[in-house]
Chain A
Amino acid sequence: MRAIGIILAGGNNNRMRELSNKRAIAAMPIAGSYRAIDFALSNMANSHINKVAVLTQYNARSLNEHLSSSKWWDFGRKQGGLFVFTPTITKENSLWYQGTADAIYQNLDFLRNSHEPYVVIASGDGVYKLDYNKVLEYHIAKRADITVVCTTCNDQSEIERFGVLRMNEDCRIEEFEEKPMVSPYNTVSTGIYIIRRRQLIELIEKAGQEGRNDFVRDILIRYKNLKRIYGYKIDTFWSNISTADSYYKTNMAFLDPEIRNYFFKQAPFIKTRIDDLPPAKYNPGAVVKNSLVSSGCIINGEVRNSVLFKDVYVGNNCVIKNSVILNSVYLGDNTHIENCIVESRDTIKANSYYCGEDGVKIVVENNDRFAV
C-alpha cells in the first residue's frame, strides 16, 4: 500500500451529553456489535493500509481496552501494525494535544519514520464504508495537495456541526467555512483527508512552529488558495455520531434493511473485537419486533423498534420501544423504556419508567450490578 493511516480519536463533545462521561466518542458502541472506531479501522484494513496510528486523548480507557489487541483488524503484523499515541510529556513539550494539527505535530516522528508516500487521515467518529484507494487514485489524478472527502448534508440544522465547502467544476475547493451557523451550501467535509506524507510533515511543522493547532482552520482554510485542495464526494452512507441525537439516529438507521445489508451482508465487512458471548436467548414471554439483537442477550419481555447491544438482560413484562440499550445493561422486571438511550453496564431497577418526551432521553442509574 502507498499510504499510512492516522485516526483522530481524541475528541469529546458536550453534545453527547452524559454519554461522553464514560468514554471518547470513538469508543461509542454502534449497531449492536461494533464501536465507532471500528469503521475507520476496518476501512483502513480493507484498503490494505497496514500501518495505522490512533491518536487518543479524552477518556481513552474504554478505547484502549477495545484496541488492546490489533489482531481483530488484521493489524497484528511485523510490517506496519497499529500504534496508539496518547499525549506524553517530552523534553520539548509538556502539554496535552492542543488540537488536531498539534496532535499530529507531537507525533511527527511517526510520519518521519514511515516511507509510504501518502497519509490517510480519518476521524474516529464516522460510520461509513470507503475504499481509501479510490480516493487516493482521485487525489493523484487531480494532482491535488490535499483531498477532502465530502458528502451532502440536507439537514440545515446539522450544518453547524461540520465544515461546509464549495467546489468549482473541477472539484477544487474554493470556499471552506468551519461550523457556520447558516450556510448557502450543503456539501460538508467528512473529516477524511488524503495528503502526501512530506507535504503533511511540512505543513504541520510550520503550523507547530507558529503555534497553530487546528488542522481545518490552520491548514485547510488557511492554505486553500495557495495549495490545490480538492473535494471527493461520496454518496454512500456516511454518518457522524458526535451528538446524542445523531448517535441515536445512526443506530436506528440500521433497522433500515438497505443500510443493514450494506454493512452486514456486503463485503468488505467491518471487524471488531470479539467478545465470546453465547447466542441470544429468547425465553417465554419474549416479543421482539423490528429490532436488532446482539449476542449474549437474554430476553423475557417486549422489544420493539430498538437496538439491543451485547449482553443485555430484559426482564419479565418489560416494554422497550424506539430505544438503544447499550452493552451489558440489566433491565429489571416491568420496566418501561421508550425513546431512550440506556448507558452501558447499568442496572435499571424493576418497575422503572423512562420515556423521552421531546427528543431522546439518556438513562443513567448507576446502581450496583444486580442489586435489584
Chain B
Amino acid sequence: MIKKEMIAMLLAGGQGSRLGVLTERVAKPAVAFGGKYRIIDFPLSNCINSGIDTVGVLTQYQPLRLNTHIGIGIPWDLDRNEGGVTVLPPYEKSENSEWYTGTANAIYQNMEYMQEYHPDYVLILSGDHIYKMDYEVMLDFHKANKADVTIACMPVPIEEASRFGVMVADETGRITEFQEKPEHPKSNLASMGIYIFNWEVMKEALIALKDQNGCDFGKHILPYCREKGQRLFAYEYNGYWKDVGTLGSYWEANMELIDIIPEFNLYEEFWRIYTKGDIIPPQYISDEAVINRCLIGEGAEIYGEVHNSVIGPNVIIGHGAVVHDSIIMRNTVIGDNTIVDKAIIAEDVTVGKGDVIGFGEEVPNEVKPAVYSFGLAVIGEHSVIPDNVKIGRNTAISGVTSSGDYPDGVLGGGKVIDKKDGDVA
C-alpha cells in the first residue's frame, strides 16, 4: 500500500477568459510569466519545496502546452517511482461521462486517483497565482487546530474585500461565516483558493454533493462543511501573493519583478522556482543595444533599446527598435525600427519592421471593454503583424494579419482583429 501524508490537487483546467487573446490557444496556467516561467511553475515549485511529492494536475481547457510543459515532472523533481506528478484530464466513463463542471466536481471525478495514495490530508491548489508558500507550515497550523478544513487567507484593504470570497473568523481563527463577493464585507480576510482538507471530510462532502450542478469548493463544499459543524480555520498568509487573472494585474505582476529589490524575489537561493529549461544559450546584447531596468531570458538577442520590460527566451529585438513597459514572450521577433509601448506580445509572434504598437489616447475597447483595458495593446500567440502599421491602445490582435487588415495602416485604439480561424504561423 502506498501511503502519503498529504497529496496536492492542482486545478489547472480554467480558460482564464479575462486574459483575452493570451489564453485563446492555451490554458491560463500555461501562460508565460516573468521572462522564463509559466504560471503553473509557482504552485508546482511550492509543492516540491514544501516536501509534497504527489501532485495531480487537473486539466481541461486547451491542455497541450500544459501537458508538454509538465511531462513527467522532471523540472520539479516530480518524476517519482511512487507519486510524482500525474496529469488528470476528464475521461469517458461507462455511464454519464461529463466534463469537469466545477472545481469540486473535478476533484470528485478523480476520487480513485487520491484513494490510491491513502492520504490523511489533501491540499487543493489553483494554477493561476504567483506566490511562494510553504504548505507544510499551513499543514502544521491545520494539525495544531485539529481542523477539518483550513483555508489560506490574505488580509486585503477592506474596500477591495468585496472582490473576493471573504472569511469571517473568531479570535482563534475559526471561521464563523463566509461572504462571497459581499457588498459590505465583515472582514478583510480574502480566500486565496488554497485549502487543506482532512481526506475523510472531503470525501464525505464530495460524495454528498456529487449531484450538485457545477459543484464548487467556495460555493458548495465549504458551506456544506460549515453547516455540518466541522472545524474550519482561516490560515493568515502575509507574503506576496498575486492573482494574475486580468491583463492589468498580469502586466503589473511582471513589472514588479523589475524593481531593484522586488517584493517577489526570484533571485533568492532559498525557495527556488523551477521550470522546464529547454532554452539554454546565453543572451546576446549587441553594440547598439540600450537596456534599462529589464529581465531578459536565455537565448534572446537584443539589437535595439529596451526599457522597463520583461523579455522572454529566444526573443529578438531588431536594430533601432524601441520597447517600453512591455512583456514580450518567448520566440517572438520584433522587427527593425518598430516601437512598442505598453504591450503584451505572446509567444512566437512576428512583428514587422517600422511598426508602432501602442500609440494615442486610451479608448475603451469596442468588443470586450472589461478585458482589454489598462491601455495595453495585446497580441496573441503565433500572430503576424505586417510592416509599417500603427496599433492603438486597448487593442487586441490574434492570428496572421496583413496590411489589408489595417485601413490606412492604422488600427485605432479600442479595436480588435481576430483571425483565429485562419492558419497559425
Contact = CB atoms under 8 A, between A and B. Distances in A.
A279 B298 contact: yes
A295 B298 contact: yes
Contact of A33 (B274, B298, B311): B298
A75 to B, nearest CB: 14
B288 to A, nearest CB: 8
A292 interface: yes
Contacts of A282: 291-296
B277 A274 contact: yes
B57 interface: no
A276 B275 contact: yes
Contacts of B287: 289-290
Contact of B280 (A255, A271, A283, A292): A271
Interface string A247-291: 000000001000010011000011110111011111110101111
B54 to A, nearest CB: 21
Contacts of A34: 280
B299 interface: yes
A61 interface: no
Contact of A274 (B75, B260, B283): B75
A279 B309 CA distance: 12
Interface in A291-325: 291-296, 298, 307-309
A278 B284 contact: no
A32 interface: yes
B285 A290 contact: yes
Interface in B283-321: 283-287, 289, 291-299, 310-311, 313
Given A33-B282, A264-B299, A290-B287, A276 B292 contact: no
A294 B291 contact: no
Given A278-B36, A278-B266, A279-B34, A32 B282 contact: yes
B155 interface: no
A278 B313 CA distance: 11
B43 interface: no
Contacts, number: 102
Most chain A CB within a 10 A radius of its CB, from B275, B277, B281, B291: B281
A77 interface: no
B281 A31 contact: yes
Contacts of A272: 280
B301 to A, nearest CB: 9
B292 A286 contact: yes
B285 A278 contact: no
B296 A276 contact: no
B285 A288 contact: yes
Interface string A29-60: 00111100000000000000000000000000
Given A286-B291, A288-B289, A289-B289, A281 B284 contact: no
Contact of A293 (B277, B296, B310): B296
A13 B311 CA distance: 41
A294 B282 contact: yes
Given A278-B34, A278-B36, A288-B291, A269 B285 contact: no
Interface in B29-69: 34-36
A289 B286 contact: yes
B106 interface: no
Given A276-B275, A289-B286, A284 B280 contact: no
A249 B377 CA distance: 44
A214 to B, nearest CB: 35
A261 B273 CA distance: 29
B38 to A, nearest CB: 13
A283 B260 contact: yes
Contacts of B75: 274, 276
A115 interface: no
B74 A71 contact: yes
Most chain A CB within a 10 A radius of its CB, from B74, B280, B286: B280
Nearest to A310: B282
Contacts of B91: none
Contact of B267 (A260, A269, A281, A291): A281
B325 to A, nearest CB: 15
B409 to A, nearest CB: 32
B272 interface: yes
A290 B287 CA distance: 5
A293 B283 contact: yes
Contacts of A280: 283, 295-297
A71 B75 CA distance: 11
Interface of A: 31-34, 71, 255, 260, 263-264, 269-272, 274-276, 278-284, 286, 288-296, 298, 307-309
21 contacts: A31-B282, A33-B282, A263-B281, A264-B299, A270-B280, A274-B277, A276-B75, A276-B274, A279-B34, A279-B35, A279-B298, A280-B283, A280-B295, A284-B292, A288-B289, A289-B289, A291-B285, A292-B285, A293-B283, A293-B284, A294-B282
Given A31-B281, A32-B282, 5 more contacts: A255-B284, A274-B277, A276-B275, A282-B296, A295-B36
